[in-house]
Structure 1
Amino acid sequence: MIAWMALALIAVAPPVAPDEATEARNETFTGTVLRLTDAIEPLGVTSPQGPIADQVVLRGEDGSILPLLYNVGSRAFFEDDRLRDRPAELVVRRIEGLPYLQVLSAKIADDSGVLRTPEYYCDICTISVRFDQPCPCCQAPMELRFKPED
């Protein structure tokens, strides 16, 4: 009987959607994307070793250090040194209670200092992607460039 009642309660209880469980909001942050070790060295903190040494953070203009989740939006920052240590503007999803930022889109300063969207581009197939990889079509290497402004 008790097992039947428990099943009945489970059956009628509405599922909790992830958005209902935690509050999330999109925000824009500006600063510089760095490896964690480079961000904390000026603070006199010994550079960490092991997996945390590869962590990438946004050092805000106010000096705050915010870690980035590894996802499609931030993957290029983790894998390509050329995109770090430049002024950046990140649109992120911030989840209440989670100290990490989930990157939705990013603009970084090109060589002339203009904030633009980085992309990896194949001239042969005219395909662009968000992180370095062989071209999904022809498998040729892709070139890092900054997306032309509209």
Structure 2
Amino acid sequence: MGYNRVFFPQAALDEWIAEDRVDFNGRELVIKAEGRRYDISEGVRVLGEVTGSSDRHNLVGKVKERFALESAGGELFETSLILGENAYEVVPGWLGLPIGSFVAHLTGRERRRALADAEAHSGGVPPGAQPASDED
């Protein structure tokens, strides 16, 4: 079974970086409150086709890596994607692939350290400290 990929919109990452909630180096993202680490690659979430044409590329509602779209001839600029005769509205961001298994994350040193830091700063265990799966 494969890992769930997570889409992180650029606007959300900008906010989290400003609030010191994540560490981000362009290749790896760490969510500090959990110590959860992700390998990341640049991507977009495709919101809709804007020319009125049919979605011949079947992209609407999907999240795609920038590299894959550019390899297929796509051109990205801010919140727009042009691919062939189609134009799409997109949300720029990053695709995250969890580093390690979820079980390894739950029992790992990084998570224990992150939870201890959060508890020390808040006086208690943060809400949601015991997720049951990658979806939590």
Which of the five TM-score ranges fits, normalised by the shorter chain? under 0.3
Kindly name which structure, 1 or 2, has the bigger radius of gyration based on alpha carbons.
Answer: 1
